[in-house]
């Protein structure tokens, strides 16, 4: 399919490179944008948005961005810090009684809390049940003493930060983000999609067993556990493997 969008004259090679990538990759399409000196200088998209290759990728297509969602969750917590309602150096237990890891709010936000995995396998359904998964995280012993090391909480950062937001503010992190951050700023970004937003969502492809095995090859055991709760055979849900409306509708970051 033809590449849509524009690239500033200075970035002509970017359009060509994007076209080559788009032509070579299987599955759904792609999009790329870049800002320079406070200006949008590249905004490109192309390919198909669905697995059946019937729906073209559009300018308003929505994509699950994986870890790009983490800063959005963090901004929600930092807005509460700015308002004096959340203390970065307070223990998490001050806001979340029963949270086992002796971590501070700062530790959670900066990936130092050590809550990066679950000791036992959990069913996929746990990812759609906010309270259930948060209770599992609260009971989880940290993989290291909080504050002594860094390690990305790849699958659970949104729940850890989002639950702090919910306990302090009363709103879910998805609702807080919509009402306090993205709505006022005019950002087309959300945790949990409405039916109309789901109609614009892109199917993800390529996240098969071979991709996961290649990503985990040569990595320490803790890495493998942190991206597959309870062990490598247990994987998080994705829009490529789960019912189309179930995962996108989830409010989990």
Q: Which residues are catalytic?
A: 67
Whole-Å CA distances, 97 to 101, 103, 125, 155, 156 = 11, 12, 24, 22, 18
In sequence order, the β-bridge partners of residue 36 are: 39
Does residue 103 sit in helix, strand or coil?
coil
Whole-angstrom distance, CA of residue 187 vs CA of residue 165: 20
> Which residue is associated with the tokens 């909480």?
153
Burial 103-142 (b: 16+ CB within 10 A, else e): bbbbbbbebbbbbbbbeeeeeeebbbebeebbebbbebeb
* Relative orientation angle of helices 130-139 and 157-169, to the nearest 10 degrees: 100
Q: Do residues 42 and 11 touch, judged by C-beta distance below 8 A?
A: yes
Q: Do residues 4 and 44 touch, judged by C-beta distance below 8 A?
A: yes
The radius of gyration of the chain from alpha carbons, rounded to an integer in Å, stands at: 20
| Vertex 135 angle, CA 133 and 137, to 5° | 70
């Amino acid at each position: 399919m033809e590449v849509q969008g524009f690239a500033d004259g200075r970035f002509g090679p970017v359009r060509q490179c994007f076209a080559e990538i788009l032509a070579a990759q299987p599955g759904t399409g792609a999009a790329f944008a870049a800002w320079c000196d406070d200006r949008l200088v590249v905004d490109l998209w192309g390919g198909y948005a669905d697995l059946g290759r019937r729906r073209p990728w559009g300018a308003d297509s929505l994509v699950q961005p994986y870890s790009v969602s983490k800063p959005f969750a963090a901004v929600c917590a930092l807005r509460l810090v700015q308002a004096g309602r959340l203390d970065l150096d307070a223990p998490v237990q001050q806001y979340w009684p029963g949270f086992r890891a002796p971590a501070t709010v700062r530790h959670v936000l900066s990936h130092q809390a050590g809550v990066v995995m679950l000791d036992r396998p959990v069913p996929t359904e746990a990812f759609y049940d906010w309270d259930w998964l948060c209770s599992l995280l609260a009971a989880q012993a940290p993989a290291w003493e909080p504050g002594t090391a860094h390690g990305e909480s790849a699958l659970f950062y949104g729940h850890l930060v989002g639950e702090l937001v919910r306990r302090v503010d009363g709103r879910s992190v998805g609702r807080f983000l919509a009402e306090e951050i993205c709505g006022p700023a005019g950002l087309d970004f959300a945790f949990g999609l409405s039916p109309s937003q789901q109609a614009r969502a892109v199917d993800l492809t390529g996240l098969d067993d071979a991709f996961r095995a290649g990503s985990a090859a040569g990595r320490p055991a803790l890495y493998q556990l942190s991206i597959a709760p309870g062990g490598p055979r247990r994987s998080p849900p994705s829009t490529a493997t789960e019912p189309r409306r179930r995962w996108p509708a989830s409010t989990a970051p």
